[in-house]
Amino acid sequence: MAPNGYLWWYVDALSDDGDYGLTIIALLGSVFSPYYAWSRGRGQADPLDHCALNVALYGRRARRWAMTERGRSALTRDPTHLVIGPSQLRWEGDTLVIKIDERAAPIPSRLKGQVRVYPHGVNARDFTLDPAGRHLWRPLAPLARVEVAFSHPGIHWQGSGYLDSNRGAEPLERAFQGWDWSRAGLHQEAMILYDTRARAGEGAQLALRFTAQGEIDEMQLPPRAPLPKTPVWRIARRTHCDPGERPRVLETLEDTPFYARSVVRTRLLGRDAQMVHESLCLDRFSQPWVKSLLPFRMPRSTR
């Protein structure tokens, strides 16, 4: 990995009954870490000294959020196995198994359990997100099934899921002002929309339809449609949908000073669609006052 660079793997899932949601991000070179940003400010920083497993559980009985940053000594990796502190990800054949043992923040509580991701139609193609080609995205499994079993808190559920990976050779905020991204399951297909705002030149504007067999249909990005700003931090959100449709925010899962994650209902390709949607404002993230807030939710451990 390049100095000041990053690599992450991202999983999200929504339960079949609509009561729960989940995101997991395994980060090498934690892109939203204030500690990593401060290290880069002093020169070339080692991304492997800034690693974290971010876990967010959503639901009436199970809302938890954890992201403890750890140094190089807490990291072990090989082609099928990644360990970050007490948590780990590994491939068992075609199944991704994630064992989680973290402490939630800002209110300390245990977050322990296992998540199994069963991909359908694995994709091996990268997509470039910036004009210089320094930021790449790979939607590894746009369609997946996910099994969730936590002992702390005590919840078990199954649902639809998604797996991707991003990597870059420089900080995100150097190349982008921000982006809007969403993924929607459409029966046996998935639709992914990626609309990046580059600092120089044209950012990526992607509309991709994936089948369960791994086939990709590249399409024109549907028309933009506004969404209301987030209630607390007033993050601007927008999405794309069929012409004339008015998307609706069903739930705002994350409302932070620079990032929003939401569940959105709309129509795509003439079909009803429920999307996991994110809006990222890197101009806001770059503000010193924002970085000063982050350690309250992102502690750093020396182990």
DSSP 68-80: -EE-GGGEEEETT
Report yes or no on 161 lying in a domain.
yes
pLDDT number for residue 61: 80
Report yes or no on 303 lying in a domain.
no
Task: Output the pTM of the full model.
Answer: 0.97
Share of residues in the chain with pLDDT > 90 (%): 94
pLDDT number for residue 214: 85
Report yes or no on 302 lying in a domain.
no
pLDDT number for residue 80: 96
Q: Which tokens hold the place of 78?
A: 């090989």
4: three-class secondary structure by DSSP: coil
Alpha helices of the chain — where are they, by DSSP H?
A: 34-41, 172-175, 282-285, 288-293
Report yes or no on 106 lying in a domain.
yes
What's the order of all strands across the beta sheet hosting 189-198? 216-219, 205-211, 189-198, 176-186, 271-281, 259-268, 248-255
Check residue 69 and give left, alpha or beta (phi > 0: left; psi -120 to 50: alpha).
beta
- Give the CATH number, domain containing residue 141: 2.40.370.10
What tens-digit pLDDT sequence spans the chain (303 residues)?
899 999 999 999 999 999 999 999 999 999 999 999 999 999 999 999 999 999 999 998 889 999 999 999 999 999 999 999 999 999 999 999 999 999 999 889 999 999 999 999 899 999 999 999 999 999 999 999 999 999 999 999 999 999 999 999 999 999 999 999 999 998 889 999 999 999 999 999 999 999 988 899 999 999 999 999 999 999 999 999 999 999 999 999 999 999 999 999 999 999 999 999 999 999 999 999 999 999 999 999 976
The DSSP call for residue 49 is: G
As a residue count, the chain comes to 303
φ and ψ of 181, to 5 deg: -140, 145
Report yes or no on 179 lying in a domain.
yes
Cα–Cα distances (Å) from 244 to 185, 219, 222, 224, in that order, read 21, 18, 11, 10
Cα–Cα distances (Å) from 103 to 74, 87, 153, 259, 300, in that order, read 16, 11, 12, 22, 12
Domains of the chain: total: 1
Give the list of residues 6+ apart from residue 209 with CB closer than 8 angstroms, or none: 186, 189, 190, 191, 216, 217, 219, 269
Question: What is the residue range of 281's domain?
Answer: 6-296
Report yes or no on 1 lying in a domain.
no
CA distance 127 to 224: 21
56, 35, 62, 250: which is closest to 151 by C-alpha? 62
Task: Kindly report, residue by residue over 198-251, the tens digit of the pLDDT.
Answer: 999 999 999 999 998 889 999 999 999 999 999 999 999 999 999 999 999 999
Sign of CA pseudo-dihedral 70, 73, 77, 81? negative
pLDDT number for residue 226: 95
Q: Which tokens hold the place of 72?
A: 């190089």
Side-chain-facing half-sphere of 73: CA atoms under 13 Å:
3
Report yes or no on 301 lying in a domain.
no
Task: Kindly report, residue by residue over 117-147, the tens digit of the pLDDT.
Answer: 999 989 999 999 999 999 999 999 999 999 9
Provide the β-strand partners of residue 180: 195, 279
Q: Which tokens hold the place of 276?
A: 């996991």
CA distance 303 to 301: 5
